[in-house]
């Protein structure tokens, strides 16, 4: 079989490595992929938002199955277009991808179907929002409606901060048209858990839970990033919590999307907060998380391609989705300065025995075939072990053997999970 994976980050690299385990797979094309993936996929210079380009490429190469990983092409209807061209796909159609693409849609869906989430109001008018914020209690959460590269959330501690945030989102359009509408919601507290789930629109099969580390600095300080590391499973996500999430959140969400005529097929990401009043949805994503995928897929024992095809065919109920009872840790190595300005073009050196445990993101190959940095988050290095402590230790010992100028990583990935698990 010939496969095509849309996207070019660490998440896509992890997906590609797992897909390769299936002996029927003869070729995987990554659109656009990145230079670090070269050993695992053929990178093709077609951007993840070039829907017409990917459909034409798929037809030309005779692609048998496509995986659309990032949010942008999903929201733009990549799955709709590829299906129309006769190519079966993993991922939701645009009318279901809206669960991530519009926070207003997601909040209204949860309200209508009684799915637990933070109390909220939506606004498309600056003065009405400002009036509301004058009377609100703080901290409070302000979210731009549309996709904003994971950066459209601010948590002002005072009215003054809220006013400044509101004008940058709604008046100065910091996130473009994503800020035409906003959600203002109640500030929740509790441990956060990421749960990715396979679904064919009828059955939902959650993957092993995970914990992201979004802030740039040790001890969860500093600005938010695309994710500095992950561990799986998440110790806060006990059997009892999992059972409650299935009953109160996962199944109701799948049913709600069906009832709205927007059946969701693919990977639905539940960003949850375990509050004292029970688990609540912080966000939905219409895709695999990054860097959650880098710890979840190495623990998957079932064949990924088989499971993905089952979500497309509607046969997930009969398909086994099994995870190893082990632990995984991913440490992200970033360019010094990230998430603010950073330098690129630094040569990356990875020992041969570490390479199979590395998922590349911001890396490219130069004309003279050197691998150099090209982004903020350069790569993720992963370890799987019987214990969480073992996985963390091994991930860091691998991370320490990788070098490039300005290499930065958090030193405490998994530390909070380790404490919680004791
Ligand atoms: P999001 O982009 O929706 O993932 O939000 C980014 C981060 O903001 C989340 O991971 C949470 O840490 C935080 N956050 C979002 N919504 C809330 C909320 N209602 N209460 C507290 N923290 C929140
Ligand atoms: N790790 C969070 C996300 O993928 O959006």
What is the C-alpha to C-alpha distance for residues 422 and 418, in angstroms, rounded to an integer?
A: 7
- CATH of 125-180, picked from 3.30.1490.20, 3.40.50.1100, 1.10.260.40, 3.30.460.80, is 3.30.1490.20
pLDDT tens sequence across 17-26: 999 999 999 9
Nearest to 361 by CA among 30, 73, 74: 30
Torsional sign, CA 402, 71, 322, 195:
positive
What is the C-alpha to C-alpha distance for residues 364 and 398, in angstroms, rounded to an integer?
A: 21
Report whether CATH 3.90.600.10 matches the domain 327-421: yes
Question: What local confidence, expressed as pLDDT, does residue 372 receive?
Answer: 98
**What three-state secondary structure class fits 268?**
strand
Q: Average model confidence (pLDDT) for the chain?
A: 96
Is residue 191 within 8 A of residue 273, CB to CB? The reply is yes
| Ligand 1 centroid distance, CA of 137 (Å) | 17
Is residue 388 within 8 A of residue 330, CB to CB? The reply is no
**Structure tokens belonging to residue 319:** 């398909």
C-beta 44 within 6 A of ligand 1: no
Q: Is the pLDDT of residue 254 over 80?
A: yes
How many Cβ atoms are within 10 Å of 134's Cβ, its own excluded?
Answer: 10
At a CB cut-off of 8 Å and minimum separation 6, what does 16 contact?
Answer: 5, 28, 30, 37, 40, 41
User: H helices within 329-414, ranges in order?
Assistant: 388-399
- Which residues pair with residue 32 across a beta bridge? 7
From the CA of 188, give the closest atom in ligand 1. Answer: 20
Is residue 211 within 8 A of residue 272, CB to CB? The reply is no
Is residue 205 within 8 A of residue 270, CB to CB? The reply is no
- Which residues pair with residue 194 across a beta bridge? 210, 271
Q: Is the pLDDT of residue 201 over 80?
A: yes
Which residue's CA lies nearest to atom 3 of ligand 2? 289
Torsional sign, CA 369, 375, 376, 382:
negative
Q: β-strand 65-68 against 89-90: which pairing, if any? A: parallel
C-beta 293 within 6 A of ligand 2: no
At a CB cut-off of 8 Å and minimum separation 6, what does 224 contact?
Answer: 150, 151, 153, 214, 215, 216, 339
Is residue 183 within 8 A of residue 105, CB to CB? The reply is no
| Ligand 1 centroid distance, CA of 363 (Å) | 29
| Ligand 1 centroid distance, CA of 34 (Å) | 29
How many Cβ atoms are within 10 Å of 317's Cβ, its own excluded?
Answer: 11
| Ligand 2 centroid distance, CA of 290 (Å) | 5
C-beta 70 within 6 A of ligand 2: no
Question: What local confidence, expressed as pLDDT, does residue 178 receive?
Answer: 82
Ranges of each domain in the chain: 2-93, 125-180, 192-318, 327-421
pLDDT tens sequence across 80-126: 999 999 999 999 999 999 999 999 999 999 999 999 999 999 999 99
Is residue 286 within 8 A of residue 269, CB to CB? The reply is yes
- CATH of 2-93, picked from 3.40.50.20, 3.40.50.2300, 3.40.630.30, 1.10.510.10, is 3.40.50.20
What are the two backbone dihedrals, phi and then psi, of residue 142, each rounded to the nearest 5 degrees? -115, 130
Band of residue 155 on the pLDDT scale cut at 50, 70, 90: very high
From the CA of 288, give the closest atom in ligand 2. Answer: 4
Element housing 67 (H / E): strand 65-68
Greatest C-alpha distance within the chain? 61
Is residue 264 within 8 A of residue 199, CB to CB? The reply is yes
Band of residue 150 on the pLDDT scale cut at 50, 70, 90: low
Is residue 227 within 8 A of residue 210, CB to CB? The reply is no
Which residue's CA lies nearest to atom 11 of ligand 1? 282
Q: Is the pLDDT of residue 147 over 80?
A: no
144 or 320, higher pLDDT: 320
Lowest mean pLDDT among 3-17, 165-179, 213-227: 165-179
What is the C-alpha to C-alpha distance for residues 349 and 337, in angstroms, rounded to an integer?
A: 20
pLDDT tens sequence across 316-361: 999 999 999 999 999 999 999 999 999 999 999 999 999 999 999 9
Work out the angle at residue 181's Cα, subtended by the Cα atoms of residues 175 and 183, and round it to the nearest 5 degrees.
100
Domain with residues 192-318, CATH architecture:
2-Layer Sandwich (3.30)
Question: What local confidence, expressed as pLDDT, does residue 149 receive?
Answer: 64
Question: What local confidence, expressed as pLDDT, does residue 352 receive?
Answer: 97
69 or 144, higher pLDDT: 69
What is the C-alpha to C-alpha distance for residues 144 and 317, in angstroms, rounded to an integer?
A: 36
pLDDT tens sequence across 60-69: 999 999 999 9
| Ligand 1 centroid distance, CA of 282 (Å) | 6
Nearest to 388 by CA among 241, 203, 170, 236: 236
Element housing 164 (H / E): helix 159-166
Is residue 363 within 8 A of residue 407, CB to CB? The reply is no
Question: What local confidence, expressed as pLDDT, does residue 153 receive?
Answer: 87
């Amino acid at each position: 079989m010939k496969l095509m994976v849309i996207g070019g980050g660490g998440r896509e690299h992890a997906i590609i490595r797992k897909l390769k385990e299936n002996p029927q797979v003869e070729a995987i094309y990554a659109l656009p992929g990145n230079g670090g993936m070269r050993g695992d996929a053929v990178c093709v210079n077609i951007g993840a938002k070039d829907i017409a380009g990917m459909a034409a490429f798929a037809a030309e190469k005779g692609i048998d199955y496509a995986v659309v990983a990032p949010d942008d092409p999903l929201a733009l209807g990549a799955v709709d277009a590829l299906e129309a061209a006769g190519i079966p796909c993993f991922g939701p159609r645009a009318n279901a991808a809206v669960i991530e693409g519009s926070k207003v849609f997601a909040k209204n869906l949860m309200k209508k179907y009684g799915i637990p989430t933070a109390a909220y109001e939506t606004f498309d008018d600056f003065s009405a929002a400002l009036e509301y914020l004058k009377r609100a209690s703080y901290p409070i959460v302000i979210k731009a409606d549309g996709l904003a590269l994971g950066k459209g959330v601010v948590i002002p501690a005072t009215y003054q901060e809220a006013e400044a945030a509101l004008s940058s989102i709604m008046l100065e359009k910091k996130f473009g048209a994503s800020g035409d509408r906003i959600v203002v919601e109640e500030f929740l507290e509790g441990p956060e858990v990421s749960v990715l789930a396979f679904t064919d629109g009828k059955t939902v099969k959650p993957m092993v839970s995970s914990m992201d580390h979004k802030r740039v600095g040790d001890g969860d300080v500093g600005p938010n990033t695309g994710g500095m590391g992950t561990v799986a499973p998440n110790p806060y996500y006990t059997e009892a919590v999992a059972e409650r999430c299935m009953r109160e959140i996962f199944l109701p969400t799948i049913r709600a999307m069906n009832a709205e005529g927007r059946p969701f097929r693919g990977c639905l990401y539940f960003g949850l907060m375990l509050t004292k009043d029970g688990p609540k949805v912080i966000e939905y994503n219409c895709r695999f998380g990054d860097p959650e995928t880098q710890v979840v897929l190495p623990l998957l024992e079932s064949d990924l391609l088989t499971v993905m095809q089952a979500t497309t065919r509607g046969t997930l109920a009969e398909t086994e989705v099994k995870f190893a009872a082990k632990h995984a840790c991913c440490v992200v190595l970033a360019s010094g300065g990230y998430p603010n300005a950073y330098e690129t073009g630094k040569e990356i050196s990875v020992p041969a025995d570490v390479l199979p445990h590395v998922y590349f993101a911001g890396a490219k190959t130069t004309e003279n075939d050197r691998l150099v940095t090209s982004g903020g988050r350069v790569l993720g290095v992963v370890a799987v072990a019987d214990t969480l402590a073992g996985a963390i230790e091994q991930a860091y010992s691998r991370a320490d053997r990788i070098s490039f100028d300005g290499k930065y990583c958090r030193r405490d990935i998994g530390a909070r999970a380790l404490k919680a698990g004791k």
